[in-house]
């Protein structure tokens, strides 16, 4: 299935940053400040790549749990889901500044609840970032009763978590629901019976990589 999100190449969150950077770079170029202009255009290129938002092919297997973010898998373990107070399979994905930072729903489901926690800004690759950093968590429930907790975690550089849905919203798998500005992490908690399809170190892509399968 193709991605239903209309893709203008650059995510809407990046338009103000890109516009300002282009104006500054153009002005420096027009004034003849060659070295500064080159640096400014490099900043434009960085902003454009950071806020890129490509369309993705979305697997339709109803048992598949899709990756909510681009990046690298840093944790696959059985642990405690601190939001639903249950044993869970936890899979964590770390996003560096060169990854796409749009966040996508891992399943078709309803948003049962949403929690926001203020916190620190530790390196998001560290395990303790899951519980100490600023974070936004969604409790999703599928039509057949599977509970999924999807947590956006701010990082050392990331200082802004954006989430566009709240309790009562319906999300389709692969649907864009949020964005984290600059390096960060996403944690997914599933039933312990779910079978992981990724391993630590794997590179993954939002909406198209299958993280796990429901039993």
For 30, phi then psi, to 5°, come to -65, -35
State the DSSP code for 14.
Answer: G
Residues 177 and 89 in one domain: yes
- Assigned domain for 56 exists: no
- Assigned domain for 4 exists: no
Question: Catalytic: 184?
Answer: yes
Task: Give residue 171's domain range.
Answer: 64-213
d(Cα 49, Cα 14) in Å, to the nearest integer? Answer: 10
pLDDT in tens, 125-168: 566 667 777 889 999 999 999 999 999 988 665 557 889 999 99
In the set 92, 130, 184, 208, the catalytic residue is 184
- Assigned domain for 2 exists: no
d(Cα 14, Cα 159) in Å, to the nearest integer? Answer: 15
Residues 24 and 118 in one domain: no
Average pLDDT estimate for 83-110 = 93
Is the pTM higher than 0.75?
Answer: yes
Q: State what percent of residues in the chain have pLDDT above 70.
A: 87
- Total Cβ atoms within 10 A of residue 124: 28
d(Cα 39, Cα 21) in Å, to the nearest integer? Answer: 11
List, in order, residues 6 or more apart from 138 with CB less than 8 Å away.
111, 113, 114, 149, 150, 151, 163, 165, 177
């Amino acid at each position: 299935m193709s991605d239903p999100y209309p893709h203008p190449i650059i995510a809407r969150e990046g338009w103000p940053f890109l516009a300002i950077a282009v104006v500054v770079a153009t002005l420096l170029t027009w004034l003849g400040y060659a070295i500064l202009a080159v640096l400014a255009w490099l900043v434009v290129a960085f902003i454009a790549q950071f806020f890129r938002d490509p369309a993705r092919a979305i697997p339709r297997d109803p048992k598949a749990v899709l990756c909510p973010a681009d990046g690298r898998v840093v944790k696959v373990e059985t642990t405690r889901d601190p939001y639903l107070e249950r044993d869970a399979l936890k899979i964590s994905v770390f996003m560096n500044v060169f990854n796409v930072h749009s966040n996508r729903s891992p399943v078709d489901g309803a948003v049962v609840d949403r929690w926001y926690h203020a916190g620190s800004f530790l390196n998001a690759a560290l395990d303790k970032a899951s519980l100490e950093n600023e974070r936004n968590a969604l409790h999703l429930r599928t039509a057949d009763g599977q509970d999924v907790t999807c947590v956006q975690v701010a990082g050392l550089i990331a200082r802004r978590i954006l989430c566009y849905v709240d309790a009562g919203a319906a999300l389709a798998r692969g649907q864009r629901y949020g964005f984290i500005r600059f390096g960060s992490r996403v944690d997914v908690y599933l039933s312990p019976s779910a079978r992981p399809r990724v391993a630590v170190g794997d590179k993954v892509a939002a909406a198209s990589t299958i993280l796990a399968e429901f039993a």
